[in-house]
Amino acid sequence: MKSQKKYSVVINTTGLRCPLPLLKVQKNINSLRKNHEALIITDDPMAEIDLKHFCSNNNYSLKEIKDNQDGDEQLFSIKKDQ
């Protein structure tokens, strides 16, 4: 996964539980431009399901899902399609 400096938007939702991570993403991802990527950092076990659904319904692509080194957080790379 790219370093955080290469993402246009970084949204850290660590410590939040469903549905708050998705709501934070919806609020903060609006500044993402077409073909740019956002990094979402979360420890919510439901985030993968929620973010996949969000992307498929809102012109975003879920490019990559990765566990961090400690395994306590997941990192999601989301690209704006349109």
pLDDT at 29: 94
Chunk the chain into consecutive blocks of 10 residues (it has 82) and report each block's average pLDDT, rounded to whole numbers.
76 96 95 94 95 95 91 94 86
pLDDT at 41: 97
Residues ≥6 apart with Cβ < 8 Å to 66: 1, 74, 75, 77
Give the chain's domains with CATH numbers.
Answer: 4-17+29-80 (3.30.110.40)
pLDDT at 6: 86
pLDDT at 82: 82
Residues 80 and 35: beta-carbon distance below 8 Å: yes
Summarize pLDDT for 49-72 with one digit per residue, the tens.
999 999 999 999 999 999 988 889
Rg of the chain taking only CA atoms, in angstroms: 11
